[in-house]
Each structure stands twice: as C-alpha cells, then as structure tokens.
Structure 1
C-alpha cells in the first residue's frame, strides 16, 4: 500500500503541495485530476524520489521511500523510447541499468500485448499507440509494486486515446498492479479507475474523493449510462469550483 501522509512541498516562495494525504491500496487503480498547475507532476516526482519533501512522509508497505529512486514504475506523458534501440531493448532498458535484464519476460509481455512481431523494430516504425504500449510494458517489466502513469495518453488523437484506454483497462484487470494515474480527462478517470481523487488548485490538497461504482471488467457502454454522466458532472463541478476559487 502507498500512503501519502500530510506532505508539503514548496519551490522557494511558491507552495505547490500542502497537507496532502491519501492512500493507494494493493491492486487498486486510483486516478488523480485537478486544475492545471496544481502539483500533479510534482507529486510524482516526490513519490519517485526525484524531489525531496519539505514535510510529511511517503510510505510504501510501511517503509519510508522519500528520496529513494527506483522504487516505483513510471510511465511519462511521452513514450521516451530511445530511437537507436530496438523495441525489445527499450523494454528491458530499466532492468538493464540495474544489471538485471529479463529478456524472456520482456518477450512474453510483448507477445501478450500483440507486439511480438515488432521486437526488432525501432520506435519510429511504430504508431503512437504502439509506442505507448511499449512504454507501459517497460514499466510493468520493472516489477515495481506500484505504477505511476503521468497523462500517458494526452498526446494521442481521440480515437487512439479511446483505444488505448480500453487496452489499458483490459491489461490492468488481468494483472492488477497498483496504479496511480494522473489525467486531465474526467471521462478517462471514470472509465479506468476504482477511485478518483480531486486536487485543489495550488497549493494542492485533496478536495474530494469519489468511489467509481462500475463493475469490472469495464465495457464501453458505461460511458453512456446515467450514473457515468452524473459522476462526470459532479467531478466537473469540483474542478469548476477550483477554477473560480479566490
């Protein structure tokens, strides 16, 4: 379990996060939404040990992990694949840096996501959606207890984005890694997550949490349900309140 415990973070005189607390249970998919500039990316930097806390604690299974790198799996907004490495070599990159590359596991995962025929291809030969699948598999193969996904589909066109959402939720429902997912899309958050956390504007704290009531496996038809529409409106209202807050 990931436990964010009353954390603060400032950059000089700019306070970005203040008194932020929440948990991610084992095997839970939690989405985070909030106004632009509310500290979502800073939060991931703190969890990943890239940036130090001012106050509070970040615990993983009861152990403090602040300022510890390599503890979480991370998938950024862009695939960040090295253009001179093959797809297979990109997948094992993180583990290779730790001197523990598992070539067979990487091949197994590429096969599971329908990319086994592209093992020896290079990133420029793949579509944007395929590159994001590779980026996700790289995070999975790192075998970390929690994956932090930072708006991974934001650069994709609408059709590909919907396709990738369906692919991600199907893959996650099979393997149930703990996921913390940042997005600007309310609909994406509701379709993917078990729970949605709404952040306030900067300095960020938790404004609201919503349990997503839809059963799994998730199907596209929930997007057209009255419950989905009502939850979407509720989350939109929270974000609108923050946008116009003094």
Structure 2
C-alpha cells in the first residue's frame, strides 16, 4: 500500500498510509478503536477503492478487485445449515472446483476429522475458528487477511488458538496481515507490527519483532517480551490520550 488516502463523506479515515507484507511474512496491525484497520482490509479485498495512492499485489494494482485474498472475519461466519466439510469447501465451490479430499486432509491435520459431518452449532468457539481458517487457507490465495479472529474467545482458548495458528502457518507460510487489539497477541504471532494513530490513521511506528521462531508459550513470560510489550503499550496509550 503506497500513500493510501481514504475518506467517507467528510470524514478522513486513512491519511498517507504506506505499508507492505513480504512473501511468507506475518504482519500485525495495532491501533485504537476506529483507526481504520477494517477499512484497510476492505481496500485490500476490493470492497472499496482508495481516494489516493496505490494497492499492489505481486506488483499488480488491485483496486476494486475481489477474490484475490483469503479473508477471515472476527466471527467464523459459518453457514448453520451446512456441515463442517461443506463450510470448508465453500470458497472452492463458488469457483466451481470443491476438493473434498483436500478438505478432509486439512480437517484431519487440525483434529476435526470426527466432526466433518457435524453442524456449526455442535462445535466450540475454537473449533469454529479452525474451520473458518481452513476455509480461508483452501481459497488458495497467497495473502490471508485475518480480522481479530480470536477476539471473542476466552483467554485460555485464545492462547491455544494462537499456538495452533502458528503451527499451521509454519507448515505453509502464507503471507498474513493480522488485525488485533491485543499487544501480547501481536508480539507473539508477528514478524513485524505496524502501529496506527487515531483517525485519520497514519503509520505511527513500525516494530520489528526480534523473537526467534518457532515461538513457545514460555515467551509470554520472558523479560524481553514484557519490555517490548510495555513499549507498544505506551505508544498506543499516547494515541488514546490524544484522541480523548
């Protein structure tokens, strides 16, 4: 994204946003509520176009083009009348080529092989999120945009899902852009973090996360982790104070 500007009516939401995601990289976005993080996803996904600037995917401008990224929203958004496996192949089905064998393999990898014929109402919150993520993976897009996918989960389930996401990502290394309100989550998952200001959003700071991979849960208690967490907390606290 190069020098992106976006307004709705008289409200400017994004102001000169420039950022990038490398192939196979995990990048997180942190910012105050209402800072335009979801608007960025809508622009990348082709739901709307920038007023100024360019958005490129593999060096091609993609303004207003849909179907070029994988997307996972805050809620799993599973169709209740479809079984787990039918939900998993939905994106492939829309393109006319559902691959049930591949879907079964992925469900086995994530421990849901016994639930492939179950309906969403029979699943826990964490299980629903796994189904939604596998559906995004099977879209075959190289860039996945994840919009606070674990925000509705309890703390213990959330940590387990973070570890699960990293294990799956390590195996296939899709490029990921991950929106979160959790500083700890961003530090645990990402290679780099962009800090957004209050609206109209600009990039306040880019943080390179120094922790080696694979990440272990013990990292959450490390002194280096706490110090960087405090730095990010102060950056975001300043933005919230400015916006009050």
TM-score category, normalised to shorter length: over 0.9
Give, in whole Å, the separation in 1 of the partners of 2:206 and 2:121.
40
Aligned match of 1:175: 172
Q: Does 1:117 align with 2:137?
A: no
Deviation at 1:107, TM superposition (A): 1.1
Stretches of 4+ aligned residues off by more than 3 angstroms: none
Q: 1:216 aligns with which of 188, 213, 216?
A: 213
Q: How many residues align?
A: 243
Mapping of residues 1-246 of structure 1, within 5 Å: 4-245=1-242
Deviation at 1:244, TM superposition (A): 1.6
Give, in whole Å, the separation in 1 of the partners of 2:48 and 2:210.
35
Deviation at 1:174, TM superposition (A): 1.6
Q: Could you tell me the TM-score, scaled by structure 2's length?
A: 0.98
Deviation at 1:176, TM superposition (A): 0.7
Deviation at 1:175, TM superposition (A): 1.3
Give, in whole Å, the separation in 2 of the partners of 1:36 and 1:9.
17
SS of the residue aligned with 2:55?
strand
Give, in whole Å, the separation in 2 of the partners of 1:14 and 1:92.
39
SS of the residue aligned with 2:237?
helix
Residues 64-95 of structure 1: per-residue CA shift (max 9 Å, x gap): 11100000000000000000000000001011
Q: Which consecutive residues of structure 2, in runs of 5 or more, have no partner in the other structure? A: none
Give the RMSD, CA atoms, in angstroms.
Answer: 0.8
Q: Which consecutive residues of structure 1, in runs of 5 or more, have no partner in the other structure? A: none
Between 184-193 and 171-180, report the one with greater CA deviation. Answer: 171-180
Deviation at 1:245, TM superposition (A): 1.9
Give, in whole Å, the separation in 2 of the partners of 1:39 and 1:9.
9
Deviation at 1:149, TM superposition (A): 0.1
Give, in whole Å, the separation in 2 of the partners of 1:144 and 1:205.
27
Residues 178-212 of structure 1: per-residue CA shift (max 9 Å, x gap): 00000000000000001111001101111001111
Residues 129-151 of structure 1: per-residue CA shift (max 9 Å, x gap): 00000000000000101000000
Give, in whole Å, the separation in 2 of the partners of 1:101 and 1:69.
19
Deviation at 1:51, TM superposition (A): 1.2
Deviation at 1:153, TM superposition (A): 0.3
Give, in whole Å, the separation in 2 of the partners of 1:193 and 1:35.
18
